[in-house]
Amino acid sequence: KNEVEQSPQNLTAQEGEFITINCSYSVGISALHWLQQHPGGGIVSLFMLSSGKKKHGRLIATINIQEKHSSLHITASHPRDSAVYICAVDGNQFYFGTGTSLTVIP
């Protein structure tokens, strides 16, 4: 049983496209995190949110607590956005989604 489900698993987009990655969870949480991992690289926290919406540059994260759903949007995607994006929820421990592998083609 996966406490956190992400979709899609893999995503290929043309540079400039608007991208959405979805995350649904089944446990009670205090916060949700979006993480980014570049190939062969470490893991960086992009957002931590517990309600509403946050924006950082071209990245936007939203969460609907009632529906237990979050989305990560990337506007005007760029090849450097190519990475694995991981949704993690902060319950009594961290639960991780399996990640969405994004490739942005020039």
Residue 32 burial (CB count, 10 A): 24
Toward other proteins, which CB reaches closer, 60 or 96?
A: 96
Toward other proteins, which CB reaches closer, 16 or 28?
A: 28
Residue 92 burial (CB count, 10 A): 9
| Tokens of residue 31, six digits | 């916060």
Binding site for other proteins (CB under 8 A): 30-31, 33, 35, 41-45, 48, 86, 88, 93-94, 96, 98-99
Give the residue among 18, 14, 26, 13 at the shortest CA–CA distance from 97: 26
Q: How far is the CB of 98 from other proteins (least distance, A)?
A: 5
Q: How far is the CB of 48 from other proteins (least distance, A)?
A: 4
